[in-house]
Amino acid sequence: MPRLAAALSGLALILGGAVIAAPAAHATPQACFYYVLEQHPETNPEVVERGCVIGAQGDVRACYTELRRDYVPAQIAYEGCRRASQ
């Protein structure tokens, strides 16, 4: 019986860790992409896509830098990258 309890405890810890990591693993750049292009339509879509993909991978600073390089206003770049990372 103690082995079963230990196994179930381990399984619960593993599953709990998977649930905590799940949002980052499923981050998508779509929210960022559409937000930036709606707010600043003259931006190059390829640059926005590249920046948003970087943001979805968890590097919000690099996402912001990429968008700002194409003259996306600071607040729009920040909000887009924040959306990508969620």
Other CB atoms within a 10 A radius of the CB of residue 41 amount to 8
Q: For residue 82, what pLDDT band results from cuts at 50, 70 and 90?
A: very high
How many H-runs (helices) and E-runs (strands) does the chain carry? 5, 0
* pLDDT tens by residue, 9-20: 444 444 444 444
Delimit the domains of the chain by residue range: 24-85
Q: What is the pLDDT of residue 1?
A: 55
* pLDDT tens by residue, 13-47: 444 444 444 444 446 799 999 999 999 999 999 99
Give this prediction's pTM: 0.68
Residues 43, 33, 38, CA angle at the centre, nearest 5°? 60
